C-alpha cells in the first residue's frame, strides 16, 4: 500500500497531539491569534498553511527542533508554491547571489542531482565537524 503523503495540516496536528503539553486545538488557536474554526480547518488541510508569524509562534509553543521547523516550512512551501519563509531572506544577503546563480544553473540543466547530493553531503560533514569542535566559526577569527 502506498505511503500517504503528509501535508502541512497533518504535520502540525501530529505535533500537537503527541506533545506532552496536551494542548487542545482551542489552546493553540488562541496562542496563534486564530479562531478555533480557522485553526481546525488548517489542521484538517481545508485552509492554506499558517503564515510566517504563526509558524514561528507554533514552533516556539511546541519547542520544535531546527529539523522539525524546517519540515514545517517546507510543507507550507509545497502547498503555497512559495520559497520557504525560513530561508527567503537568504536571497537578500551576500550569499544570496550564489544561491540564485546555482538555481539558475540548475534550471538551465548545467547542474544535476548528483551535484546537489554531493553539496548536501559536504554541508552535513562540515556541520558534524563544527559540532565536534573541529571547525571554528570564521566570524570568531578562528582558522578553518
* Tens-digit pLDDT profile for residues 61-99: 999 999 999 999 999 999 999 988 888 888 888 888 888
Residue 142, pLDDT above cutoff 80: no
Residue tagged 500517504 (cell numbers): 4
More confident residue, 26 or 100: 26
| The domain made up of 8-88 is a member of CATH 3.40.50.300 | no
36: its cell numbers:
478555533
pLDDT per position as a tens digit, 4-57? 789 999 999 999 999 999 999 999 999 999 999 999 999 999 999 999 999 999
pLDDT at 34 (0 to 100): 97
pTM check: above 0.95: no
What are the extents of the domains in the chain? Answer: 8-88, 90-140
Amino acid at each position: 500500500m502506498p505511503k500517504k503523503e503528509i501535508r502541512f495540516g497533518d504535520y502540525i496536528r501530529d505535533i500537537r497531539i503527541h506533545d506532552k503539553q496536551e494542548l487542545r486545538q482551542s489552546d493553540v488557536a488562541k496562542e496563534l491569534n486564530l479562531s478555533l474554526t480557522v485553526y481546525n480547518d488548517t489542521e484538517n488541510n481545508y485552509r492554506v498553511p499558517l503564515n510566517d508569524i504563526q509558524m514561528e509562534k507554533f514552533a516556539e509553543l511546541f519547542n520544535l527542533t531546527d529539523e522539525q521547523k524546517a519540515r514545517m516550512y517546507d510543507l507550507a512551501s509545497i502547498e503555497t508554491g512559495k520559497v520557504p519563509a525560513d530561508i527567503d531572506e537568504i536571497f537578500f544577503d551576500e550569499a544570496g547571489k550564489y544561491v540564485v546563480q546555482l538555481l539558475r544553473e540548475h534550471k538551465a540543466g548545467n547542474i544535476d542531482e548528483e551535484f546537489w547530493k554531493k553539496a548536501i553531503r559536504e554541508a552535513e560533514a562540515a556541520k558534524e565537524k563544527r559540532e565536534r569542535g573541529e571547525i571554528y566559526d570564521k566570524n570568531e577569527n578562528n582558522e578553518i
